[in-house]
Amino acid sequence: MASFLPRATFPSQLSLPRSYFLGHHAAGLSKMKTMLSSIDLIIECRDYRVPLTSRNPLFEQSLAGRERLIIYTKRDLGSKDLASDQRREEIIRAWHAPHPTLFTDHKSKKDIKTVLNFAKDHAASRYSLLGSRILVVGMPNVGKSSLLNALRMAGVHKAKAAYTGAQPGVTRKIASGVKIVDKDEEKGTEGVYLVDTPGVFVPFVPDAEAMMKLALVGSVKDTIIAPVTLCDYLLFHINKQQGGEALYKEFCGPTNDVVEFLEAVSRKTGRLGKGGIPDLDASALWVIQKWRQGHLGTFVLDEVEKDGLEKRMREEVGLSLSQARKQAKNAQRARGKARQAEAA
């Protein structure tokens, strides 16, 4: 029997949407700008699985002039082994030097304590009668609210203050400050407050593959990209992992064929339509959700290289909001023409 060869590349997806910049994203960003004078620190959350793709240059452009801490969330969902994690994190820290960078799993008490200690030390270094106010920003569904809730529980032992959900868009308005550290008279600090914000998407995604990565990690709603296409992209990444085919061996043997894979999943999990026909969309969404929960492998989708951030910034070429909207309209027209050509 011939050994299994995973696909070296994923087919180009020219018809994919390349924007998800919604009204409440723009409104949220405008409101954040007006709050800067009362903010001491900005925490920008990025997804550990997509350290480059979950970067939003709008934050750096719009919220400049404040100290910034970058936190890579959901570390447990991208972690492989200690040695490779350490190499990856050294590279990422170098991207942001001299600015501080932390890596967290919001379920890890140790990780949350590290963030809490950073916030306490930062507050102690600059006295304010009103306490220290920290603005938490990031792309949709990157884990901002989960981080806030974990910090609140660890810091002041109170129940969660922010709603969370599997789909993006749960937080739509900027919240009032939530206390995560009590007043400390010995240190002379007046308390630390976190301000949760709605996730803000990039106005225009530079390439279709980046859009698929953001959809896979849940930064866009599951209805934006066809579930079977997204699951095919996930299967491509699973097969790229060493021994990746073993992750789905309970359903079928090694395969690059998403239909074969999803038909096997449908039969195994009972996701069947009328007449016992496999429901591929339902099966694809189930598979994607399993991966998001860490049950189909934990790995990073972006290539983390020393010059990775520099390359990403060159790709972005300083897109303004108006340029991004123009490109989004052009991409929409191109998709319309492609559909008309297919129908002809």
User: Which positions make up the binding site?
Assistant: 141-146, 199
User: How far apart are the C-alpha atoms of 78 and 300, rounded to whole Å?
Assistant: 5
DSSP code, position 76? G
User: How far apart are the C-alpha atoms of 132 and 191, rounded to whole Å?
Assistant: 6
Distance between terminal CA atoms of the chain? 43
The count of C-alpha atoms lying within 13 angstroms of the C-alpha of 44, restricted to the half-sphere facing its C-beta, is 25
User: How far apart are the C-alpha atoms of 337 and 33, rounded to whole Å?
Assistant: 39
DSSP code, position 90? H
Nearest to 152 by CA among 136, 168, 138: 136
Bridge partners (DSSP) of residue 157 are: none
Residues 6+ apart with CB under 8 A from 260: 252
Backbone angles phi, psi at 105, to 5 degrees: -120, 115
Binding site for GTP: which residues?
141-146, 199
Asked if residue 264 lies in contact with residue 251, where contact means CB atoms within 8 angstroms, the answer is yes
- The number of helix segments (H) and strand segments (E) in the chain equals 11, 6
Asked if residue 324 lies in contact with residue 332, where contact means CB atoms within 8 angstroms, the answer is no
Tell me how far the alpha carbon of residue 339 is from its chain's centroid. 30
Rg (CA), the chain: 22
User: How far apart are the C-alpha atoms of 20 and 198, rounded to whole Å?
Assistant: 14
